[in-house]
């Protein structure tokens, strides 16, 4: 596996981890943005700190820190007071209301991380935490001591989030916002998502996601397709422009990530990737047929050549020609935006048609969608 491919997959797993940690848009039950949460948590760690130090520790521009401090101060979550070292300067500290808000965030975030860590054997949890620490060190993020009220792993997740600049509005300094990056990646990863499903996936408010989708549709990054039989509902399709925007953001993210990966030898890089695969749940498989990912380019080319244009939710949209591998074997393909994302081989038997093999691109199709596609295809031919 090339470094470019490995880095892209690591970046995608880190994105999924952020999404599963419910840290994409608003945290703490929708009370805070991710950047606000980090700022308040930093004050809980340090008790008192000035804006310049916060800018360094959060890896955020000074003007962003000023805006965050102003908003949080107006909401009564932090207070300003003269610095003990320099009476002309001001330090920041939490109010009782701010401390209570941090506890609310802790109660929401800690169980999620503990649940994710349970996917790993105990010895692997320490290895993943150490890898995150090395990665954050490589990105130049200041060290942080975990509070007694949180898993030590969470402190390293915070450091890595800051190192990858995911507290900023824009993802990796590109024109794509962090929320847009997540939306583009999820629509690319999973076919036929609607706004409600996206909001649930990203743990974001539906109105926030809908507003972002409208802006992305205006930029022609997303296309809204009506559900068959119900024009009041629609699902989202990634356009060519959307793919290009996602690729630009991912390239910038990979360039940044590679700065941290320089401390890793090839074996450590592969180890990190495997741990991330395990914790993000990418090893999950469905129950229908033999679910395997297409990896060999020749296999993918052959599957595409045998596929017919067929959308999972509207099989009537294109005629299904009688295509055969050989004898009684048939192949059916699922295309999304002209991309062959799944191929199904059906075999005739005395008891009727049965699924012989199902291959799909896990990057674009979930096991559940692949299984649903297989059931619909089986019903169609039967």
Contacts 24+ apart (CB under 8 A), 337-340: 337/237, 337/238, 337/239, 339/364, 340/300, 340/303, 340/304, 340/307
Taking 50 as the threshold, does the pLDDT of residue 321 lie above it?
no
Q: DSSP for 239-295, please give it.
A: -HHHHHHHHHHHHHHHHHHHHHHTTS-HHHHHHHHHHHHHHHTTT---SSS-EEE--
Q: Is 6 helix (H, G, I), strand (E, B) or coil?
A: helix
Comparing 101 with 23, the larger pLDDT belongs to 101
pLDDT at residue 300 is higher than 70: no
- Report the DSSP pairing between strands 291-293 and 78-82: unpaired
Other beta carbons less than 10 A from residue 166's beta carbon: 23
SS3 state at 192 = coil
Q: What pLDDT is stored for residue 88 in this prediction? A: 66
pLDDT single digits (tens) 177-205: 999 999 999 988 776 788 988 888 888 88
What's the chain's average pLDDT?
79
pLDDT of residue 45: 85
pLDDT higher than threshold 80 for residue 276: yes
Residue 169 pLDDT class (50, 70, 90 cuts): confident
Q: Which residue has the higher pLDDT, 282 or 128?
A: 128
Task: Kindly report, residue by residue over 215-243, the tens digit of the pLDDT.
Answer: 999 999 998 877 655 666 778 888 889 98
| pLDDT at position 308 over 50 | no
How is the chain split into domains, by residue range?
Answer: 291-381
Interior angle at CA 60, CA 56 and CA 64, nearest 5:
125
Question: What pLDDT shows up at residue 86?
Answer: 67
* Amino acid 310: pLDDT: 40
pLDDT tens across 327-366, in order? Answer: 455 666 665 555 666 777 666 666 666 666 677 766 566 6
Over residues 12-30, the mean pLDDT reads 76
- Residues above pLDDT 90, as percent of the chain: 33
pLDDT of residue 316: 40
Mean pLDDT over 239-258 rounds to 92
pLDDT of residue 365: 65
CA dist 34 to 143, 238, 324, Å?
19, 26, 52
- pTM for the model stands at 0.71
CB 83 within 8 A of CB 91: yes
Residue 327 or 269, more confident = 269
- Three-class SS of residue 341? strand
The predicted structure's pLDDT at residue 283: 40
- 158, 144 contact by CB (below 8 A): yes
Q: What is the dihedral of CA 262, 267, 270, 274, to 10 degrees?
A: -130
pLDDT at 285: 29
pLDDT at 111: 87
Cβ(133)–Cβ(222) below 8 Å? no
């Amino acid at each position: 596996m090339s470094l470019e491919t490995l880095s892209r997959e690591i970046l995608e797993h880190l994105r999924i981890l952020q999404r599963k940690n419910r840290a994409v848009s608003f945290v703490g039950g929708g009370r805070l943005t991710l950047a606000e949460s980090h700022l308040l948590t930093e004050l809980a760690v340090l008790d008192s700190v000035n804006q310049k130090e916060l800018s360094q520790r959060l890896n955020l521009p000074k003007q962003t820190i000023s805006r965050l401090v102003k908003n949080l101060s107006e909401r009564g979550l932090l207070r300003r007071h003269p610095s003990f070292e320099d009476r002309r300067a001001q330090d920041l500290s939490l109010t009782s209301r701010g401390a209570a808000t941090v506890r609310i965030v802790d109660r929401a975030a800690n169980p999620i991380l503990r649940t994710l860590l349970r996917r790993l054997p105990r010895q692997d949890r320490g290895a993943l935490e150490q890898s995150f620490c090395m990665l954050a060190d490589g990105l130049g993020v200041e060290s942080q001591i975990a509070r007694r009220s949180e898993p030590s792993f969470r402190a390293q997740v915070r450091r890595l989030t800051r190192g990858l600049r995911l507290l900023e509005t824009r993802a990796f300094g590109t024109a794509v916002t962090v929320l847009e990056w997540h939306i583009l990646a999820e629509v690319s990863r999973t076919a036929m998502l609607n706004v409600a499903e996206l909001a649930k996936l990203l743990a974001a408010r539906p109105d926030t996601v809908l507003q972002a989708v409208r802006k992305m549709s205006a930029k022609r990054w997303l296309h809204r397709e009506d559900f068959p039989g119900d024009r009041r509902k629609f699902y989202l399709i990634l356009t060519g422009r959307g793919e290009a925007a996602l690729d630009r953001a991912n390239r910038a993210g990979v360039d940044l990530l590679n700065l941290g990966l320089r401390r890793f030898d090839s074996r450590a890089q592969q180890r990190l990737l495997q741990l991330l695969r395990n914790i993000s749940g990418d090893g999950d498989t469905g129950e229908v047929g033999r679910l395997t990912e297409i990896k060999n380019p020749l296999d993918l080319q052959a599957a595409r050549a045998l596929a017919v244009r067929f959308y999972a939710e509207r099989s009537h949209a294109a005629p299904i020609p009688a295509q055969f591998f050989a004898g009684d074997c048939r192949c059916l393909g699922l295309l999304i935006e002209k991309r062959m994302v799944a191929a199904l081989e059906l075999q005739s038997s005395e008891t009727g048609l049965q699924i012989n093999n199902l291959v799909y691109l896990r990057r674009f199709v979930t096991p559940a969608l692949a299984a649903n596609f297989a059931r619909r295809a089986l019903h169609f031919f039967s």
